[in-house]
Structure 1
Amino acid sequence: MTGQVRTVDGRVAGRRGQATRQKLLDCLREMLDTSPYRDVKVIDVARMAGTSPATFYQYFQDVESAILEIANDMAKDGQRLKALTEGQGWTGKGGYAAAEALVDGFLDFWREYEPILRVVDLASAEGDKRFYKVRQSILTAVTTGLTEAIEEVQAKGKAGDEVAPNAMAGTLVAMLAAVSGHQKGFETWKIKMKDVRPALSTLVFMGITGKKPPR
């Protein structure tokens, strides 16, 4: 952890305090792997971290505020998805490879952060603007990057202009997020993710270029 970290009452945490705070966050994230977030209690997080509830409350107001800290860090890491839309040719075999990389990026990101994204999605659906903002910061950045990519392809005359770039980009990003969040569901349908990957890559490539992927 870098930079100044403050306690709930505004004091600057020292190195030891920062380490304790990070351990609490790590334990909370581990607990979310196996428990619904509403079942996670402060006393359980503190016990796992080898400290007390009083120490937890020095750094966080409640479990939700601690989860929000994890979610905000996740959102910063989520900017790597936008990077996958930048500097790509998007046509021909290179374009299809870029589509595959974007698909892999989404699938990997959702697998890595599945417990946190589950909380973000639930809280967002319930109207919690804090978590909604986290989700939007990730998806909006990718949508912006993909919009610019589609505009560039259209400007070069390598794709038709039948659809608005931002509408296509938003649709593709929503699709990628929804499918990435449903990976375990595909398994129950007896659909293999190794088959979903090329299906997604094809749809992304066709959405950007309006053409079938190269053979």
Structure 2
Amino acid sequence: MEGRSMLNKFVSGSVVLDTALHNQIGQKIGSKGLRTRQKLIETTIELLETHGLRDLSVADIARAASTSPATFYVYFEGVPEVLLAALEHVTQSTPELVKMAEENWSELGQQDRARRFVELYCAHWWRWRTVFRCRNLASEEGDIRFQEARRQSVAPLIEALTGQIMRAQSKGLVPDNLSPRASAGAILTLLERLAAVGPLTPEQPDMSFETLKDAAAYMVAALTVGR
């Protein structure tokens, strides 16, 4: 299953487990407990590929993880808290994306740089689409914990793109009446939607996921370097 290979990141070392975690009664979690907790996170996200966050039960997760609901409650208060735990290790602002957004695009072939940025963003979002999709739905339903998780996830990219736009404005390449931060937010809103639905876009003679990314890159370049 695709979800299983994706979730192997949690245990492969590319996502570091927090060894200072405590369980629901305040006890420090040992190595065996960390593995159990991580298995519950992996299983939950895998199940969320085919279940809604509000529809998934603790019993479903415990059964799929070959454990008991009682064991689940040792580590988590409920299903939403499992997703929040996963979000502590998955961000939209990856180091590679932030580094790219901080570079001076006006001196590096801006259109190619914008296209590469769009490509990387979409690939990363799609890889972790289950986590991001469920987070966004919970956020839009008014859960302030997921709203904050969403804000923190994009904050470094917002800052990097804001700086990019401000540099372009200082050179007269982008209109001064545009808010740099609002423009950065608009870019990420565009890319998030593109990343979520673009791969599902039916191929048409004049529109495909690739041509949508081309158009998005043009708009990103226009807002960041004025070209």
- TM-score by structure 1 length? 0.87
How far is the alpha carbon of 1:149 from its aligned partner?
A: 1.1
Aligned residues: 208
Q: How does 1:42-191 map to 2 (within 5 A)?
A: 42-75=58-91, 78-80=93-95, 81-86=97-102, 88-91=103-106, 94-155=109-170, 157=171, 159-162=173-176, 163-187=178-202, 191=207
Letter of the 2:39 counterpart? K
Aligned counterparts of 1:97 and 1:186: Cα–Cα separation in 2:
23
How far is the alpha carbon of 1:128 from its aligned partner?
A: 0.4
How far is the alpha carbon of 1:49 from its aligned partner?
A: 1.4
Aligned counterparts of 1:63 and 1:160: Cα–Cα separation in 2:
45
Contact 2:19-2:29 within 8 A present in 1 as well: no
How far is the alpha carbon of 1:195 from its aligned partner?
A: 1.3
Gaps of 5+ in 1: none
Residues 38-75 of structure 1: per-residue CA shift (max 9 Å, x gap): 22111121122121111110000111111111122213
Aligned counterparts of 1:57 and 1:2: Cα–Cα separation in 2:
18
Residue in structure 2 matched with residue 31 of structure 1 by the alignment: 47
Gaps of 5+ in 2: 1-16
Letter of the 2:132 counterpart? L
How far is the alpha carbon of 1:92 from its aligned partner?
A: 6.0
Contact 1:120-1:135 within 8 A present in 2 as well: yes
Residue in structure 2 matched with residue 208 of structure 1 by the alignment: 224
Aligned counterparts of 1:58 and 1:8: Cα–Cα separation in 2:
6
Give percent identity, aligned residues only: 28
Aligned counterparts of 1:2 and 1:64: Cα–Cα separation in 2:
19
Letter of the 1:50 counterpart? S
Over the aligned positions, Cα root-mean-square deviation in angstroms equals 2.1
How far is the alpha carbon of 1:164 from its aligned partner?
A: 3.0
Letter of the 1:8 counterpart? Q
Sort the Cα spacing of 1:188 and 1:138 in 2 relative to 1 into closer, same or farther, 3 A: farther
Structure 1 runs of 4+ off > 6 angstroms? none
